[in-house]
A and B are shown apart, each in its own frame.
Chain A
């Protein structure tokens, strides 16, 4: 479909970088931007950009219900995209894949549909201390509606979950465990298979936020044993505004609709509407067709890379990043998990994160500053404002070295 270079093993970082216009081109300032904010959103390879452009310029049409050729073709691409995601997540059926706007909508969908029907007064929802606000607030809203309560799995000083605490936190009132696969602040990879197993043994539903995981790890929802798994396309080198909710088929079929509208119905009369089966029941209105097709293309692009080679490459970059930070006086990196991805969140004694972010930006280094939508976690570590550097598949050693030098210079200026 697109004539870009193929990244066949062995993994070639220079070939890969050249596939990303935003990485390989220099910025308007004439200097290259060192992009260390991939955990917020990843850049997009040409293959994805071209596919979206191709859809709009040659294939645009609405999906489903159309009698004409273009619509049938768009529907075929749309449903092929669902199969691509199914295969990517190793789901049993394509009917277990729901297209959403992103991870946030996926969490809300489950909280409003499954949650509305299955959580009642006095029930408990188990979260972890390292959740993103997107995996806290929808559950809090559900608890407020239902007079239910939230319990928290603590985070240890090393940034790993206190796995020993889980058994005592689970009770007969626990209805769902919602946990992130990878922390967006600490980079910690959680042992979600164990957590989901504990949940299943107690008849508790499990929800995994995979937003920071899918672009770094092989994800197999059947091996993990989760009931729900969510992620966003834009962190997986795909477009913004598209996400996935995987749900076990029996669960999805038992859930009421989320939003009402076209496409999610079976029959409508003014007296009564009957709903379509999952996943259509959860996809009211015209979906983000180009985005969904672009996401499938991003997955195709990503799957050309050997994920083990990528993980080894990223682990190497991550250890250079961590060594760089640890070699600088007065820097404290949050967490030191053994299993982690390329995220380093840190504070500097005597220098505010915001100042560091400004001065890094002046030197062409893009990082994130603030609380990273994990205020409870930062509170646990006793910090408020932090700097986060995060790596993608296209990040290289030169990026990390430029960051280290620019950081040292920034700290000198702020002394």
Chain B
């Protein structure tokens, strides 16, 4: 599934939910989709800066695709991380960089996230894109 189709599906799912509790329950459920985080990466090196709760993100490139492991100690944030992984994991660096941050608005997340939280989300996306840029530079 292209990452645009993933975003479209997430939007459909979220819009079908009538109230905030269901939307949060849905976001929390996405945490379950994350693969177990390799403990060797749970270090300060892989912490994403700018998040209120700790978020770890490790990325490598395999056969041209950016493969990521991510985790958070907080459940809602972990759900958001799960959502980001659905959109960005196992994509080419080009695909990652072509995805505009507008999807946050599309998913209606910005109105559910306070300034602190949406800037945390933006920090995660920025880190994912930095990895993509670094991998592109490596292979240029």
Contact = CB atoms under 8 A, between A and B. Distances in A.
Interface string B103-118: 0000000001010010
A117 interface: no
Size band of the interface chain B makes with A: 10 to 19
A352 B75 contact: yes
Contacts of B75: 351-352, 355, 414
Contacts of B117: 358
B30 interface: no
B52 A370 contact: yes
Interface in A334-369: 351-352, 354-355, 358-359, 361-362, 369
B73 interface: yes
Contacts of B77: 354-355
Q: Which one of A351, A354, A361, A369 has the highest number of Cβ atoms from chain B below 10 Å of its Cβ? A: A354
A60 interface: no
Contacts of A352: 53, 73-75
Q: Which one of A355, A362, A369, A414 has the highest number of Cβ atoms from chain B below 10 Å of its Cβ? A: A355
A128 to B, nearest CB: 27
Contacts of B52: 354, 369-370
A361 B20 CA distance: 12
B73 A362 contact: no
A385 interface: yes
B35 interface: no
Interface in B2-35: 20-21, 24-25, 28
Interface in B28-69: 28, 52-53
Given A361-B114, A370-B52, A385-B53, A354 B74 contact: yes
Nearest to B114: A361
B76 interface: yes
Nearest to A352: B74
Given A352-B53, A354-B52, A362 B74 contact: no
Nearest to B24: A413
A340 B139 CA distance: 62
Contact of B74 (A355, A361, A413): A355
Contacts of A355: 74-77
Nearest to A351: B75
Contact of B21 (A369, A370, A413): A413
A23 to B, nearest CB: 20
Given A354-B53, A385-B53, A362 B28 contact: no
Q: Which one of A352, A361, A370, A385 has the highest number of Cβ atoms from chain B below 10 Å of its Cβ? A: A352
A370 B73 CA distance: 13
Nearest to B113: A358
Contacts of B21: 413
A362 B24 contact: yes
Nearest to A385: B53
20 contacts: A351-B75, A352-B73, A352-B74, A352-B75, A354-B53, A354-B74, A355-B74, A355-B76, A355-B77, A358-B76, A358-B114, A358-B117, A359-B24, A359-B76, A361-B114, A362-B24, A369-B52, A370-B52, A413-B24, A413-B25
Closest 8 CB pairs of A and B: A352-B74, A354-B53, A354-B74, A355-B76, A355-B75, A355-B74, A362-B20, A358-B76
Given A352-B53, A359-B24, 10 more contacts: A352-B74, A354-B53, A354-B76, A355-B74, A355-B76, A355-B77, A362-B24, A413-B21, A413-B24, A414-B28
